[in-house]
């Protein structure tokens, strides 16, 4: 796993961003992500946008950079040793269940962020959107 130090704006700048811009622009990013997910070509871009939602909301960069490794035919995310479900199972989950349950999940997470007092819980949920929509293991 490749770790890097989170260099970003200070807390005051991040708080002002969230109060004046982050909360509404993240809602637009969620809508755009879902529009992108409607097409096969836009699907990777939609999930890339979903992965950046906490940064869009609060300007806080991720602490680690994700990597994908293949060892003995098994996919591992973030350099860890967590085996992923087969791609066909993840695709079937997304088509049958993940897209609609993900919409409810990400909407709940966004509302928890906007309420402010539940912001940490909302950010935790936003960081796990991939697990709900595509069975991604962390």
pLDDT of residue 80: 59
> What is the per-residue pLDDT across 121-138, written as a single tens digit (0 to 9) for each?
999 999 999 899 999 887
| 98-136 core/surface letters (b: 16 or more CB in 10 A; e: else) | beeebeebbeebbebbbeeeebeebbebbeebbebbbbb
pLDDT one-digit tens code per residue, 52-75: 999 999 998 765 555 555 666 666
Residue 1 has pLDDT above 50, yes or no: no
Per-residue model confidence as pLDDT tens digits over 27-50: 999 999 999 988 889 989 999 999
More confident residue, 63 or 13: 13
Residue 21 is predicted with a pLDDT of: 95
Work out the percent of the chain whose per-residue pLDDT is above 70. 80
Q: What is the average pLDDT score of the chain?
A: 85
Rounded to two decimals, the pTM is 0.77
Nearest to 129 by CA among 13, 57, 48: 48
């Amino acid at each position: 796993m490749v770790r890097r130090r989170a260099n970003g704006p200070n807390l005051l700048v991040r708080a002002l961003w969230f109060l004046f811009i982050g909360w509404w622009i993240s809602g637009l990013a969620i809508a755009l992500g879902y529009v992108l997910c409607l097409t096969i070509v836009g699907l990777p871009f939609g999930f890339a946008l979903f992965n950046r939602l906490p940064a869009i909301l609060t300007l806080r960069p991720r602490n680690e950079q994700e990597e994908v490794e293949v060892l003995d035919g098994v996919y591992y995310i973030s350099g860890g040793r967590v085996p992923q479900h087969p791609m066909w199972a993840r695709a079937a989950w997304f088509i049958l269940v993940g897209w609609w349950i993900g919409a409810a999940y990400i909407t709940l997470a966004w509302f928890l962020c906007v309420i402010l007092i539940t912001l940490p819980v909302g950010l935790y949920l936003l960081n796990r959107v991939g697990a709900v929509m595509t069975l991604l293991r962390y």
